[in-house]
Chains A and B, each alone.
Chain A
Amino acid sequence: DQQVKQNSPSLSVQEGRISILNCDYTNSMFDYFLWYKKYPAEGPTFLISISSIKDKNEDGRFTVFLNKSAKHLSLHIVPSQPGDSAVYFCAASDTGTASKLTFGTGTRLQVTL
């Protein structure tokens, strides 16, 4: 049973435009959410996170939005750059067991020129 879902396996966006990656979760105990970025032949790298006490967190071109009532979060990348082309994983944690991350299936973002 997939507790963290990324329903779009892939997304193509033009350079300079906004990329929006979506993630849904089912476990109401999750209270900390993260996005990881993964290039081919490399391990995932942490991108941005958000605690459930917030509804938005921004870091440069990356913003994560959290809608707790809908159990939905999204990652916005503005403006998108070719170097952003990667697989993006959404992950969730119950900080009571912060050691355990549950990942989504990933969305492959392609930023075209």
Chain B
Amino acid sequence: EAQVTQNPRYLITVTGKKLTVTCSQNMNHEYMSWYRQDPGLGLRQIYYSMNVEVTDKGDVPEGYKVSRKEKRNFPLILESPSPNQTSLYFCASSPPQPGLAAEQFFGPGTRLTVL
């Protein structure tokens, strides 16, 4: 089954404790992206990657890191989480065709709470 998987689905942590949210896709997509969803703000892009070893900042990159060492994986790293990073996070992937690249496949989401 073609899918984007994220782990963990739920995470409660404390301020300053480094964490990683994993994202993996089995569709051989070049493009991957991370979003956060907050009430009243919709989905905002954190980082995206056009291909292996190619990453770039989205609209809200502060406090986050990413890496793309393999095509299928795109982990999101919070080196020192803070309470304002409490949010619902989505990973997405898409093929590279112009236009179609915007039709992204989303993972199920990771709900993160930072105390």
Mark A residues whose CB is within 8 Å of B: 4, 6, 32, 34, 36, 41-46, 49, 51, 89, 91, 93, 95, 98-106
Of the candidates A98, A102, A106, the one whose C-beta lies within 8 Å of that of B99 is A98
Q: How large is the interface on B (under 10, 10 to 19, 20 to 34, 35 or more residues)?
A: 20 to 34
User: Are A41 and B31 closer than 8 Å at their CB atoms?
Assistant: no
Contact with A along B79-115 (1 / 0, CB 8 A): 0000000000010101000111111111111000000
Of the candidates B31, B35, B40, B102, the one whose C-beta lies within 8 Å of that of A49 is B102
User: Are A95 and B109 closer than 8 Å at their CB atoms?
Assistant: no
B residues within 8 A CB of A44?
43, 90, 106
Q: Decide if B34 is an interface residue (CB 8 Å cutoff).
A: no
Closest beta carbon of chain A to B98's beta carbon, Å = 5
B residues within 8 A CB of A101?
33, 43, 45, 102, 104
CA distance A74 to B41 in the complex (A): 19
